Structure formats: structure tokens, C-alpha cells
Amino acid sequence: MKHGLKRLLFSIGGRALTVIPQKVPVLFSGQGAVRKIPEELATLKAGKPLIITDVGVEKAGILAQLTEILKSASIPYAVFPGITPDPTFEVCEKALEALRANSCDSVIALGGGSVMDAGKLVRMGATHKKPLARFAGLLKCRNRGLPFICVPTTAGTGSEATAAAVITDSMKHRKITVLDPRLPPDSTILDPALTVGLPPALTAATGIDALTHAVEAYCNTLHYRDVDVQALEATRLIFANLPRAYTDGSDLEARENMLKASHIAGRAFTRGFVGYVHAVAHRFGEKYHVPHGLANAIALPCFLDFYVDVCPERLADLADMVPREDTRREDTRREAKSAAVVSEAAAVPEAPRAMELPKQEFNPRTMNKAERRAWFQKKARVFCDAVKALEAEIGIPEKGDFIRAEDIASIAEGAIKEAHGTPYPVPAVLDADDLETLIRKMMK
Ligand SMILES: NC(=O)c1ccc[n+]([C@@H]2O[C@H](COP(=O)([O-])OP(=O)(O)OC[C@H]3O[C@@H](n4cnc5c(N)ncnc54)[C@H](O)[C@@H]3O)[C@@H](O)[C@H]2O)c1
Ligand SMILES: [Fe+2]
């Protein structure tokens, strides 16, 4: 089949998947928003929630914050702290057993994407009579599931907004997507105070996951207006706040903006979809167990370089969301000024990401088609460079030293299966050879 026809079919397929309206969770945001949970449980007529979480979240003291709130409100609860990164169906089944054993009637997912995705399955499993593995694929939910509240503690996946759950099939060593418009939670709590303890490397990786959601949704072919607005705003927020959250984890304003960015990027891709970057990143996750955000961070720049010739106009729009050199200089001067109170010798640091837009004015009347395209490509390259500079600034390695040459063919094959099987409305349809070439560029 010709490339153009496939692209059209994938676009129609993606559009068809968004015909059924998705649930939009009720949102509570801001420092202290987690204290809204007792009231929200009452609204949802939930008497005894199962808190699903993982050991990292428990060790960070976040679980204790929530249980204190429930205790003070005299709300009974049970805890399942055993979710593992990239959770398997087996782990989700164990959480479901805990829900039944403790006679819980609702679910609170407190954690990152792994915990929220597991929560989505448990909440559905409790009201369906089938093994959780049978939810794999499209539209497998027949009812709304138990009342469900998501409390993200990472700012990355946006799972608290999406109609997707990514679960690992341990038999096939594959990451499987469960897609259903009923999957988003009833309520979402975005409390930046819960993310201040997230270590810098995880802050960086999860932040780039959110950026990848925004970029892929924006470059895809559906071009829904709401998706475009959300993707652009998420990109703007991430460039402005991720370096701040990485450098100073206790910067509550940056943390709040990152949670907002990750949430709206989630809203964007739940209707606009992701693309090949995620399809490849999921293979990195299942083969090498690298964090999902880092897997995306390694793949994203290579695809962006390729997309300069595919959708330069879309990348050019994204370039407009990157802070300009002059505004960044202003910011760093202001920061340096306050630093100077501590150290008289504080020098104005160089702006780490120089955004230099094409000097030539864009004038569609005087420019011919080739000149217009060249102008957009130049601006698109500015965006690619800005993403690379952002990743370098937050300590993300340029290449994936985990990628093994002997795996490239199967990674490409698996990525094609995911991207074309869903289908994702990708801006260009690639074949396995194209993907292999791109994956080789991601290797050290
Ligand atoms: N459903 C979706 O729409 C969607 C979208 C993108 C990714 N995902 C999936 O989400 C998973 C990745 O989620 P993630 O990137 O949020 O990571 P994660 O949930 O796997 O958590 C990573 C680590 O961070 C720790 N952690 C989380 N919050 C913390 C905090 N505040 N302080 C200290 N430590 C903390 C956890 O304990 C864990 O060890 C992957 O399985 C990915 O495929 C799902
Ligand atoms: Fe993701």
C-alpha cells in the first residue's frame, strides 16, 4: 500500500477511536489538594478505599501523608504497596485480591504511571468477571468500574487523565496497552507538594515523557483544536519549568507547573495519540527495563531530526513555545541578582539554551513554496536543537548505551506492530528498515 494511503487510513483509524467521548476526571489542584480526598470519597459514595502504591512512594513519606488524612476523617482504608515499575498483570491481580480480601469499595492510586495504570485495571477488574489480562487491547470495559481517584506523584505520564493503561505481559515480555474511554479516573488530585521528593534523574526522565506526549500528539495528523492547544501549552510549561524542578526539587511553583503540563499533555495524547517514539520506547522498557521517560528521551531527538522534513510547520509551532534567548537571559539575570545577595561575585550565567529563530521575516506573499518550506524547516531545526539542549541541561545522556545491536530488528518490528496496530495517526508511515536506521542513531 502507498505511504499516503496508509497515512490516511491511520488518521481515519485514530479519529474513529476518538468518536466515543472519554471521561474527563474532576480536577483538584494546588498545594494541599490531597486534603480534598475525604470529601471526594463521600461525593463518589466510597466507604473504604484500597490505596494502591509502591515502595518508593511509601519510603518518600507520601503514603503516610494520605493515611493521616484518612485517619483524621475516620475513613477506613487498606493499602497495597506492592506495585512494581512497568507493572505486570500478575501484580495487578495481587492488588485486586487485596481489594477483595479487605472488602474495599473504591481505589486510590497514589504514585507514578505504574501505580495509576495498575489502579485502572484493579478498579475495572473488581466489577468485571474476567482475568485482568483479558482487558488487553481496545474497548474491553463493559461498565464504569469502582469509584477511582488518581493522585500522581511524578509529573510525566499524565495517566491520571488518559484512557490508557500500559501493562507488562510477563509471559510474552511485552508492554501491552489497554485502551478504553472508561479508563480515566473519576477524580484527579494534582498536589505539587507530593512531588518535591522526586529525585532529579526521575524528575528529568518523567518530564521528558510529558514533553514527548505533547510533541507526538501535536505532530500526529488528527489536528484537533483542543489537542493542539493543550500540546502547545504543555510544551511551553515544560521548557519553562523542567530545568527549575530538576535543579531545585523544592521549587513548588515549578513542580505545580510540571504537574499541570504533564496533565494537559496527557489530555492531549489521550485524543491525539502518541507515535513511533513511544512505540520504540515501550520496546526499550520491556527489553532493558529502562525508565519509561528515559526511553522516550533517548528516542525523541532522533525522530525529531527525521520529522524536520516530514512536518516542519508543526515543529515550527512548537519552536514558538521555547523561551527565547533574551527572556531566558532576563530570567537568569534575575536569578543571578538574588544569588548575588549571597555571593557578591555572582556572574550572570550564559543562557544554556540559545533560541535563535530564523532572521528572515516570514512572508507568505513574497515567498514561493520552496522558500516557505525552507523557512519552516529552519525553525523546526531550532526546536530539535532546543529539545537536545533541554535534555543535556537536565542530565539526560545523548545516546542509549543499553541498546544492543542484535535487538534492533525485533525492536523495530515490535514498534511497527504497536504503531500500526492501534493505529497511531503518525505524521509519516515508516517501515521496519526506516525504524532500524533511526534506532541505530540512538546507540552509543
Ligand atoms: N497510562 C498512560 O497513559 C501512560 C502514559 C505514559 C506512560 N505510562 C506508563 O507509566 C509507567 C511509568 O510511570 P512513571 O514514569 O511515572 O514512573 P513509575 O510510576 O514507574 O515510578 C518510578 C519510580 O519513582 C518513584 N516515585 C514516584 N513518585 C515519587 C516521589 N514523589 N518521590 C520519590 N519517588 C517517587 C516510584 O517509587 C518508582 O520507583 C510506565 O509503565 C509507562 O509505560 C502510562
Ligand atoms: Fe509516555
φ and ψ of 430, to 5 deg = -105, 155
Q: In what order do the strands lie in the sheet with 137-138?
A: 137-138, 174-179, 164-169
Q: Answer yes or no: is the C-beta of 200 below 6 A from any ligand 1 atom.
A: no
Architecture field, domain 20-194:
3-Layer(aba) Sandwich (3.40)
Distance CA 303, CA 396 (A): 17
pLDDT top residue among 50 and 347: 50
Q: Read off the pLDDT of residues 149-172 as tens digits, 9 standing for 90 and up.
A: 999 999 999 999 999 999 999 998
- pLDDT mean over 241-269: 98
C-alpha cell belonging to residue 254: 515549578
Q: Read off the pLDDT of residues 283-339 as tens digits, 9 standing for 90 and up.
A: 999 999 999 999 999 999 999 999 999 999 999 999 999 997 655 544 444 444 433
- Lowest-pLDDT choice from 14-23, 215-224, 268-277: 14-23
Please indicate whether the domains covering 20-194 and 198-342+362-441 agree at the CATH topology level: no
Q: Answer yes or no: is the C-beta of 114 below 6 A from any ligand 1 atom.
A: yes
Question: In the predicted model, is pLDDT for residue 342 greater than 90?
Answer: no
- 84, 99 in Cβ contact below 8 A? no
- 248, 254 in Cβ contact below 8 A? yes
Nearest residue to 98 (alpha-carbon basis) of 84, 83, 114, 80: 80
Atom of ligand 1 nearest to the CA of 86: 41
Question: In the predicted model, is pLDDT for residue 65 greater than 70?
Answer: yes
In the chain, where the domains are located: 20-194, 198-342+362-441
Question: In the predicted model, is pLDDT for residue 103 greater than 70?
Answer: yes
Task: Say which CATH topology domain 198-342+362-441 has.
Answer: Dehydroquinate synthase-like, alpha domain (1.20.1090)
C-alpha 440 to ligand 1 mean position (Å): 27
**What pLDDT, on the 0 to 100 scale, is given for residue 44?**
98
Atom of ligand 1 nearest to the CA of 165: 1
Closest ligand relative to 292 C-alpha: 1
Residue 379 CA, distance from chain mean position:
25
Pairing verdict, β 49-52 and 106-111: parallel
Which pTM was predicted? 0.92
Q: Which of 57, 176, 262 is the best mutation target for the ligand 1 pocket, counting ligand atoms within 8 Å of the beta carbon and taking the most?
A: 57
